[in-house]
């Protein structure tokens, strides 16, 4: 493989895990509890209460590109929300909503007819028998702090569960929460092509 000096790992971050290796909160798990590969760092982040796909690498330039807002690359999330979003709410999310004096970029938003194939969350979401829930698939090209949660709240459908299932051409696929794997040579090539071709 031509990229042996660089390491690329995909990790399915469970709920409640901090996106860092340092232990500064005794009650919270960190990446160190799951990954023992030295000198790899998350390219981007997921909040402690979000789940899903995280890329870790020692490739600094690629890490910078993934984290720099001016290089808009696609990230897709499965989002469980309170109540069933209507067409108007979906259109608002697609056009962009104002959160903290900032209008979000246009997004791709789809109401899923069935829940996505995910394992149960531990702990489970707070569930109210009188309030139905719906699932959205949201694809963004930006990553502001707690953006998806703020977007769904802004249109009246608070987020209950948030799972990132795709970064560019990389997907969760068969990974389970807490599992990680190395990218294949083909995946690395496709991902690097995708990332370096993406510029806004």
Catalytic residues, which ones?
47
Provide the Cα torsion 196, 198, 199, 200; round to 10°: -170
Provide the Cα torsion 162, 163, 164, 170; round to 10°: -170
User: What are the residue ranges of helices labelled H in the chain?
Assistant: 60-67, 87-95, 147-154, 185-197
Give the CA radius of gyration of the chain: 17
**Chain mean position to CA 193:** 20
Per-residue buried b or exposed e for 108-130, using 16+ beta carbons within 10 Å of the residue's own CB: ebeeeeeeeebeebeeeeeeeee
């Amino acid at each position: 493989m031509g990229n042996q000096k660089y390491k690329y790992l995909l990790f399915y971050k469970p709920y409640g895990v901090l996106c860092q290796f340092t232990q500064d909160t005794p009650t919270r798990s960190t990446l160190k509890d799951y990954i023992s590969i030295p000198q790899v760092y998350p390219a981007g982040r997921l909040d402690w209460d979000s789940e899903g796909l995280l890329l870790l690498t020692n490739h600094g330039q690629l890490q910078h590109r993934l984290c720099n807002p001016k290089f808009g690359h696609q990230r897709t999330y499965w989002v469980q929300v309170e109540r069933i979003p209507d067409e108007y709410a979906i259109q608002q999310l697609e056009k962009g909503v104002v959160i903290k004096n900032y209008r979000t970029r246009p997004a791709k938003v789809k109401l899923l007819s069935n829940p996505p194939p995910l394992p149960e969350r531990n702990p489970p979401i707070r569930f109210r028998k009188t309030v139905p829930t719906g699932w959205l698939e949201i694809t963004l090209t930006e990553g502001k702090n707690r953006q998806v949660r703020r977007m769904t709240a802004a249109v009246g459908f608070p987020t209950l569960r948030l799972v990132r299932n795709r970064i560019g051409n990389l997907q969760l696929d068969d990974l389970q929460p807490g599992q990680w794997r190395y990218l294949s040579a083909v995946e690395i090539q496709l991902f690097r092509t995708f990332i370096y071709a993406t510029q806004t």
